[in-house]
Homo-oligomer: A and B are copies of this chain.
């Protein structure tokens, strides 16, 4: 059986109505599944729709109702397995609640994030989930709120913004990871993060655009402090996003006299760079250098040595964010919620006592 609608023009309710010999309104009711329609009429209408291969125009529906049945998600880097899993969490609960998800990548860039926000608002998404690229500018997010578009922050907070958030307890996570290293006997630790910064050295909180990193640094410093380590701030390195840059940073760090004997990597990409640098310097992990990394990336549990990681519940994080958003879309007026999830420290093989 071939096309019944050889013409270019798509089939509309009006067409179906005509074919079923009822009014446009009745056809629309039957097709849209609202209002009440006599059973036999409904049957006739549905039959006609089937015959004509009618497909509802979501756009028109959205225009008329104001609801699109779609939620927009903006993350920094979808290739990052952390966000990949989170998006799956979001999609699953969204689908269950009858919402579609459309995705956008900010590339960790504020400008792109703003543009994406704009696009989503213009497309009239019913709600927004975003992992903001910076805590320093939330004007576009405020804007979404102002336009009555529910918003939930994922993974990263924007202080001053009064919205639901789904976060991880990064402070505690970093503290525990650091203490794992400390407990093994290390006294010279360093923390490496990919977060963009003008200077690779840590000068203070203002410099840091991500609340996650801010909290992790705080946790790292707190643990160092408790252990009585002096000047732990000096062992923090920023801006290790690209391979070349991280290699410079790591090689620099690991070639210095009094080099760190243990590293805390802020994400699995950096852990990989640590592997690379260690290789280049002939340093053995964990013999010469201990390592703990954030994110339980797939390769960390397959290569030698298996790497000890801070596993983040990213799927649950996404699911929680979506749950809150759906509730808001449904009209939930409660004060903003803060959903904070715990991480799990997975001990594997990349931590050993310092050799000295």
Chain A residues with CB under 8 Å of chain B are: 3, 8, 10, 55-60, 62-63, 68, 70, 78-79, 81, 84-85, 87-88, 91, 100-105, 118-119, 121-124, 146-148, 269, 272-273, 275-276, 279, 297-299, 301-304
Contact = CB atoms under 8 A, between A and B. Distances in A.
B55 A63 contact: no
A62 B103 CA distance: 20
A123 B59 contact: yes
B8 A122 contact: no
A122 B58 CA distance: 5
A218 to B, nearest CB: 29
Nearest to A123: B58
Given A79-B81, A124-B57, A304-B304, A147 B10 contact: yes
A121 to B, nearest CB: 7
Q: Which of A55, A100, A104 has the most CB of B within 10 A?
A: A100
A121 B57 CA distance: 9
A304 to B, nearest CB: 7
Contact of A3 (B104, B123, B146): B146
A148 B59 contact: no
Contact of A60 (B63, B148, B303): B63
A293 to B, nearest CB: 12
22 contacts: A3-B146, A10-B147, A55-B118, A55-B121, A58-B122, A59-B62, A59-B63, A59-B122, A59-B123, A59-B124, A70-B123, A78-B79, A78-B84, A87-B105, A88-B105, A103-B103, A272-B298, A272-B299, A272-B303, A279-B302, A279-B304, A299-B299
B122 A55 contact: yes
A88 to B, nearest CB: 8
Contact of A57 (B122, B276, B303): B122
Q: Name, among A55, A60, A297, A303, the residue most crowded by chain B CB atoms within 10 Å (CB to CB).
A: A303
A148 to B, nearest CB: 6
A119 B105 contact: no
Nearest to A78: B78
Contacts of A124: 57-59
Given A58-B124, A59-B59, A272-B303, 8 more contacts: A55-B122, A55-B147, A59-B122, A59-B124, A78-B84, A91-B105, A276-B301, A303-B303
Nearest to A277: B302
Contacts of A273: 302
A302 B101 CA distance: 35
A222 to B, nearest CB: 31
Contacts of A8: 148
Contacts of A276: 301-302
A302 B119 contact: no
Nearest to A102: B102
A304 B306 CA distance: 12
